[in-house]
Amino acid sequence: MAVSEAFLHLDPMLLFKSGANFGKQRNLGLVEFHYSLGTSQNGIKSYAFSSVGYYSTDRKNRTKRSCFSRCKCQKADSISEVTADDGRPTSLSINGRTNVNNAQEFELNQLLKSDKEGFANGDTNGVGTVIDSRKSIEEEAWDLLKESVVYYCGNPIGTIAASDTSSSSILNYDQVFIRDFIPSGIAFLLKGEYDIVRNFILYTLQLQSWEKTMDCHSPGQGLMPASFKVRTVPRDGDDSVTEDVLDPDFGEAAIGRVAPVDSGLWWIILLRAYGKCTGDLSVQERVDVQTGIKMILKLCLADGFDMFPTLLVTDGSCMIDRRMGIHGHPLEIQALFYSALLCAREMLASEDGSADLIRALNNRLVALSFHIREYYWIDMKKLNEIYRYKTEEYSFDAVNKFNIYPDQIPPWLVEFMPARGGYLIGNLQPAHMDFRFFSLGNLWSIVGSLATVDQSHAILDLVEAKWSELVADMPLKICYPALEGQEWRIITGSDPKNTPWSYHNGGSWPTLLWQQLTVACIKMNRPEVAEKAVMLAERRICRDKWPEYYDTRRARFIGKQSRLFQTWSIAGYLVAKLLLANPSAAKILINEEDADLVNAFSCMLSANPRKKRGQKGFKQPFLI
């Protein structure tokens, strides 16, 4: 019997609920069938049937998956209405407001009207939600987060990037971004709402290596999209019914056409967090999920021309997703890469087929941590060393390995570097150190233990010492300092959105405070640093309508082109509050330092001619 035929004989609901796993022996992934209620464009009630489908682990069959990621809606007047927990038809909340049809809009207006009448001193927030002045900031944040939920075939699948109706151009802010969903997913996990995270993990997996091309070129196998959109479209040949279609973007439509290297890494980190938080390991153990992890790893660990263990990427391949001079080996990607490798190692089933991959992964972990800890780290002592570097050293044991010319030390850095504290630089290339401080990379290096314990404390010391530069009126600067003048012109390509102290160029992003700073501070047992920053942000963030970013050196203005009601600003706030109230929950995101890696690192260090600070009593090096 053909696989698809076999499934027709099974109870779809049962399959979905049980997450039954088929074909483990036959190299096949999972099948899921979903029923949900939808409403066609002309208001006819219908039910949706979705077969997410099976897939095989070979390339040919995997690319066939696209034809299954459709949610076929059929006319079904006789079927009783399925409602969400709050009693509203599930289809009402598709994409916040964008997918609602006339009938739904009417119902929604009725709901809002009655809400409004209930709130004597209420105010609307611009997205139709009524802000109750009696509500706490957290309550408002939860309401907004729930409104941002996007549904696919009636199932919650992610959160929209921003719900700002005041903005004239939506661009792609109506999509679910993989990186933006991380704080949302963590908030939902901490709240005990697991389904949305599980769905997100499984549906985005279906999008991995989608058959997409840009000018005849396909992305690498294992690439995860930057974002996706749920489109409700009339069904082919029958306008009376609609179907939901998932439409991913791997960068082929994105501004600048950048491939999102961080998406797959975040996906692995979230997958592990899901397992740790729920105790449900069945998701990570699924054949398709294991295959997905391996595909991401293979893509990242593939041999190239590079001499460095760091991941070589193009400009704008992460949160900073446009030209900002972060091509090469940017810290953010390396921090996520390291953390994703550790998470994957925890989750990969040990079987004969993955032995080589695990060996390659272990080798990379050792080399990567050595490289970053040694060559990216700067503090007063190291700066002074660079200041006195000899150049043009041709030898195996050169001290100035990358031929850095001391004149590169920028004047601002001499002022910026505190006597106590230090940080990991933004990027390292031959004859080039990007000395800018990038928050995400530094904080995630703490969270994932890419930085040593001493370095981690030193980074937080620097954040405290440079509070008025990095936190100022609104946490947290995405990078410091901004590129100005000729440097801005050359490096950003005269980008009018990335003007000095705005957006990616020294703008302040609340989402960084919540998730990254809070988890890093909790890990280092210094939650008071994050608490101080949260209190500061709380004074404005809600009143300012949850902006995406702030501008100016001290973050005094809401960003020039900043979206309001930016979901990851909202979700991040909730995560920070939940974690500060229950710090032990942060362990779902943290990677503790691995003793074997410390050992291997130490052995490499003692073999390094530049520094002989080998520690006593270490065991044999890690198996390479």
Q: Considering the rule CB under 6 A, would residue 466 count as an interface residue with ligand GLC?
A: no
* Residue carrying the six token digits 């309401």: 143
- Minimum distance of ligand GLC from residue 378's CB (angstroms): 26
Shortest Å, Cβ 553 to ligand GLC: 20
Rounded to whole angstroms, the Cα distance separating 596 from 601 reads 8
Least distance in angstroms from the C-beta of 179 to ligand GLC: 5
Residues 438 and 435: their CA atoms lie apart, in Å, by 9
**How crowded is residue 159: how many other Cβ atoms within 10 Å of its Cβ?**
30
Q: Report how far residue 390's alpha carbon sits from residue 366's, in angstroms, rounded to the nearest whole number.
A: 28
Query: How many chain residues bind ligand GLC (CB under 6 A)?
Result: 6
618 three-class SS = coil
Least Å distance, CB 292 to ligand GLC, is 21
Q: How far is the CB of 37 from ligand GLC (least distance, A)?
A: 30
CB of 161 to ligand GLC, least distance (A): 4
CB 562 within 8 A of CB 504: no
Q: What does residue 153 show for φ and ψ, rounded to 5 degrees?
A: 55, 35
151 versus 177: smaller Cβ distance to ligand GLC: 177
Task: Name the residue type at position 258.
Answer: V
Buried residues in 230-264 as b, exposed as e (16+ CB within 10 A): bbbeebeeeeebbbbebbbbbbbebeeebbbbbbb
CA distance 358 to 326: 29
CB of 619 to ligand GLC, least distance (A): 42
Minimum Å gap between C-beta 180 and ligand GLC is 5
Q: What radius of gyration do the chain's Cα atoms show?
A: 25
- Token pair recorded at residue 461: 């010391």
Nearer of residues 32 and 174 to ligand GLC, judged by Cβ: 174
Per the rule left: phi > 0, alpha: psi between -120 and 50, beta: everything else, 304 is beta
Q: How far is the CB of 335 from ligand GLC (least distance, A)?
A: 15
d(CA 435, CA 171): 32
Q: Cis link prior to 481 (omega < 30° from 0)?
A: yes
Dihedral, CA of residue 243, residue 246, residue 249 and residue 250, to nearest 10: -140
> For ligand GLC, which is the closer residue by CB, 321 or 461?
321
Taking the complex as a whole, the smallest distance from the CB of residue 124 to ligand GLC amounts, in Å, to 23
Based on the shown chain and the rule CB under 6 A, indicate whether residue 321 belongs to the binding site for ligand GLC.
yes
262 is a contact residue toward ligand GLC (CB under 6 A):
no
- 179 vs 229, beta carbon nearer ligand GLC: 179
In terms of CB distance, is 32 or 180 closer to ligand GLC? 180
Nearest to 287 by CA among 342, 349, 340, 341: 349
Judged by beta carbon, residue 208 or residue 263, the one nearer ligand GLC is: 263
**Per-residue binder mask for ligand GLC (CB under 6 A), 180-209, x = binder:** x-----------------------------
What does the per-residue mask of binding to ligand GLC show for 62-91, with x meaning CB under 6 A? Answer: ------------------------------
Residue 60's alpha-carbon distances to 55, 56, 72, 249, 291, in angstroms, are: 10, 8, 24, 21, 14
Q: How many CB atoms lie within 10 A of CB 118?
A: 10
DSSP structural state of residue 225 = P
- C-beta separation of 342 from 591 below 8 A: yes
Based on CB atoms, which residue is closest to ligand GLC, 227 or 456?
A: 227
The residue among 50 and 163 lying less far from ligand GLC, judged by its C-beta, is: 163
Nearer to ligand GLC, 408 or 561 (CB): 561
Site for ligand GLC in 351-380 (CB under 6 A): none
Query: Among residues 371, 390, 98, which one has the least CA distance to residue 232?
Result: 98
Q: Provide the minimum distance between the beta carbon of 319 and ligand GLC in the complex, in angstroms, as a whole number.
A: 4
Instruction: For ligand GLC, give the closer residue by CB, 319 or 378.
Output: 319
Our finding on whether 319 is near ligand GLC (CB under 6 A) is yes
Of 446 and 570, nearer to ligand GLC (C-beta) is 570
Q: How far apart (Å, rounded) are the C-alpha atoms in residues 502 and 458?
A: 27
Of the pair 362, 567, the CB lying nearest ligand GLC is at: 567
By DSSP bridging, strand 422-424 and strand 479-480 are unpaired
Per-residue tokens: 237: 């040949």
Residue number with the smallest Cβ distance to ligand GLC: 161
- Is there binding between residue 265 and ligand GLC (CB under 6 A)? no
Of 365 and 512, CB closest to ligand GLC: 512
Burial of 63 (0-12, 13-18, 19+ CB in 10 A): middle
| CA 415, 419, 420, 422 torsion-angle sign | positive
CB nearer ligand GLC, residue 317 or residue 602: 317
Find the binding residues for ligand GLC in span 142-181 (CB under 6 A): 161, 177, 179-180
Tokens of 128: 């139709």
Q: Are 284 and 348 in contact (CB under 8 A)?
A: no
Question: CB of residue 261 vs ligand GLC: minimum separation in angstroms?
Answer: 12
Q: In angstroms, what CA-CA distances link 471 with 3, 462, 477, 537, 585?
A: 56, 11, 6, 9, 25
What's the closest the beta carbon of residue 519 comes to ligand GLC, in angstroms? 18
Nearer to ligand GLC, 196 or 368 (CB): 196
d(CA 562, CA 388) in angstroms, rounded, equals 43
Interface with ligand GLC (CB under 6 A): 161, 177, 179-180, 319, 321
